[in-house]
Structure 1
Amino acid sequence: MLQKVICVDDDPIALLLSKLVISKVNFASQIITCVNGEEAMKYLEKPETIEENSNSKQPLLILLDLNMPVMDGWEFLEQFSTKLQEQYATTKIILLSSSIDPNDIKKSKDFSMVVDFLPKPLTKEMLELISEKIET
């Protein structure tokens, strides 16, 4: 079980479904939800969040949607990789999107912290696959 998962999505139903699936299979002890990339960045930039992450022996997992208002997934990845990559070196990001654009999948490979690109909605089977990918 992971200590913490952050779900970033502007769709309240997608967030609710993700939380339900994560809880049901005991995938993480804490689930944080953010409605856009900016909210997620603000959460990750808090000194207490950075400290908590550096004291954790488990990688932080972020489930990130691409298409959101205010700050989309691509903008989040750009800012994360320039501002926070050092503090969150073990963080793994899964892009969870309804996009089927092959260019999005190709672009996601430009970010070292992105370990997979999966279609919405999140399922129990996806969590099993994610577990295998993020084991350190």
Structure 2
Amino acid sequence: MIKLLFPILFPSWRFFSSIGPSPRIDVAFIAEKNAEPQAWLPFRSLPEQVGFAAGVRRLLHNPIWNERLYINTCAEHLFEGPSDFYAQEIGVRLVNAVFNREMNVDDASQYLVFRIRAIEFDAGQVRDEVVFISQPFLLQAAGGK
């Protein structure tokens, strides 16, 4: 009986064979569909500090963090190869974030483009490599700015 309870009480973390690259998502806003993005902004960057009360609240209810985890999972799938489904999932959620006023957009911008960077620690060095750049997403698609 104790053999059955032991793995429940003390789980093994050996199923992590290695630590892979970590995705970072940046967004840019452009006026025309074929324009080159000039400035990339991080999407939902992590705060430097979280207070005790906010930490407890986040522990119990944190839909924004859950969505961030989902977006990161989609980004990790894009590391493996191109997929319209995962790119669309990320793009729609970013456009909705603009619609919900999480990001400020100037009036001239009509499209959103995102890129995914892979941050990886390799032999003591940090590698930061762009692995995916999306097609433009129309900002009006979420119901306006």
Instruction: State if a TM-score over 0.5 links the two structures.
Output: no
**TM class by smaller structure:** under 0.3
Asked which structure has the greater CA Rg, the reply is 2
Structure with more of its chain in helix, by fraction? 1
TM-score after normalising by structure 2: 0.24
TM-score after normalising by structure 1: 0.25
